[in-house]
A and B are shown apart, each in its own frame.
Chain A
């Protein structure tokens, strides 16, 4: 049994070596593993748009493959292994739950390069890449703070993980910077995706005087609910403007192509090294798209100017001094949170009248 496993492992290694050396002149084979369907109009859709643009950029120098609807867990390892075995030189695994399967496969295929989105475990042939979603949230907060007439912003939150908590803070900080009286109402729906429930949450918030709906869930249902009632909302992950032509303020879009193009180039040049990549406005990995032309001019210009201030590095939303909502200092004066600290935010900033679910 043991020998069999060892032999199998060797065979895999040899075959992948063989694939890497003997076809060196052939196109670079790049594989993508998606958690959802490419037609989800959100997360996986945007990864696939990135793949297509990368393919176009390199033409016949690359050959891309994707596998969609891959469940997180044991099945993912099978899919990733299959891609590695079939001669792929670079594999992108695009969901948090693919973390351990990616690392396991990477161990068995040391000559294949792996890139895992949103994870935190790396090795000598595994990099991670993350979005600075809080940058888009800060702009959302500024726009919402200016546009709200009831001074109440609604936030549909998924799960109490650092990314979501950090983004709630970011929205509130942005809104507060332009509107000192603003309040934020947070509703946790305990799901990333349940259009019915997301829509119910949006309606519940609007019933309570919320006039700007911001969502940290993946379906366009909250925007559609807002459109029905003439209340404004902000699109998440992809351009959601056509779901709510009147109510859509703008979308914060994930644009993966620049990262995919850069990584493929590095692998081609053999200059790739494992890293923990955080992409945001500065790299155009995160973009503000489809600003509603009917928005008042001052709000439109605040959106673009806040975007460019963050993009240029002139401004970082998480710069001290900052207190949490119990009055404890969480960021010292003049200090800006590092990426590692941003990945571990577990407090609400001063002024948010709520507590984080335990």
Chain B
């Protein structure tokens, strides 16, 4: 395999991994506070639809992205109101949110099907993009990819180096202790849920404004579910999550490229490689059972109700 082809695969892998990384990052923070939101796919579709509509009607991609983020947040607001304020079952509420979002986005986006826009284009950063191999890979991407780099770094810093991160983790580990310390558990969980919604909306807009600039029903095709799995395999660690998302992207592209090169392996088997490779690598790096146990938020998917406790 020549170096140019490898570079092209890696550039494509980065693009394929980005929507997964964005949505999974939101869900990771959300789960760190103990909230399991299975509505990712629904929120992402609403984001994709709203983002496309915004960009199409205003002619401004950034307004589109803003609208996508707001749509994702509106969906997560619904989830939060039900599961955090009314203490409904998180799993059932999340599933319902996915079904609701899938249907609502098709309904509202019916008139958008068939429209086209000019999506986000790669922007080369001067000097940096001239670095051999790494330059075109990291510094000749579209704005949303750069934004994803910033968001990953910022989330890591907030989660590990700030009081906010400590609060988030405390709420996820033991909400009753956190409550006793005066932390407003429901408020923290709600904010994290909204952050998750915003990231899902952003990921959706990446799909409809950069990856494949168009809107079609169910265009995210299950990426919200893959993101949920990635969070678990990354054992709730942001660095591992980024690795997992890009690895998944790399394996997805590799299987298409290998078929084109005429490698005689069953495409069905090749199609499994992204899943298998990601699972194997993630299990290997997080195989320490104790570390895994420690990184799983103890109160995940458990409602918080101080009256019961």
Contacts and interface: CB of A to CB of B under 8 A. Distances in A.
Interface string A156-197: 000000000000000000000000000001111111011111
B260 A220 contact: no
Contact of B217 (A39, A186, A198): A39
Given A41-B114, A186-B259, A203 B267 contact: no
Given A187-B260, A224-B212, A200 B113 contact: no
A278 interface: no
Contacts of A189: 256, 271
Contacts of B253: 200, 204
Interface in B239-265: 252-253, 256-257, 259-262, 264
Contacts of B60: none
Contacts of A355: 264
B110 interface: yes
B12 A204 contact: yes
Contacts of B216: 40-41, 195, 219
B113 A196 contact: no
B12 A196 contact: no
B5 interface: yes
Contact of B12 (A37, A198, A203): A203
B58 interface: no
B93 interface: no
A242 B114 contact: yes
Interface string B276-306: 0000000000000000000000000000000
Contacts of A41: 113-114, 216
A36 interface: yes
Interface residues of B, number: 38
Given A196-B223, A197-B252, A355-B264, A221 B214 contact: yes
Nearest to B107: A37
A277 interface: no
A225 B217 contact: no
Given A196-B207, A203-B12, A208 B261 contact: yes
A39 B211 contact: no
A204 B260 contact: yes
Contacts of B111: 39
A354 to B, nearest CB: 7
A128 B218 CA distance: 29
A201 interface: yes
B269 to A, nearest CB: 9
B266 interface: yes
A196 B253 CA distance: 11
A199 interface: yes
A200 B260 contact: no
Contacts of A243: 114, 116, 214
Given A37-B106, A200-B16, A220 B214 contact: yes
A195 B221 contact: yes
B113 to A, nearest CB: 4
A199 B214 CA distance: 12
A357 B266 contact: yes
Contacts of A196: 16, 19, 207, 211-212, 219-221, 223
A216 to B, nearest CB: 13
Given A196-B211, A221-B214, A154 B221 contact: no
B217 A40 contact: yes
A73 to B, nearest CB: 17
Given A219-B216, A221-B214, 17 more contacts: A39-B217, A41-B114, A41-B216, A187-B259, A187-B260, A187-B267, A196-B212, A200-B252, A204-B12, A204-B256, A207-B257, A208-B5, A219-B214, A224-B213, A353-B262, A355-B264, A357-B266
30 contacts: A37-B217, A39-B110, A39-B113, A39-B217, A40-B217, A69-B106, A185-B260, A187-B259, A187-B267, A188-B268, A189-B271, A191-B221, A194-B222, A195-B219, A196-B221, A196-B223, A200-B12, A204-B12, A204-B256, A204-B257, A205-B260, A207-B5, A207-B12, A208-B260, A219-B214, A221-B214, A224-B116, A242-B116, A243-B116, A353-B262
Nearest 4 pairs between A and B by C-beta? Answer: A188-B267, A204-B256, A194-B221, A39-B113
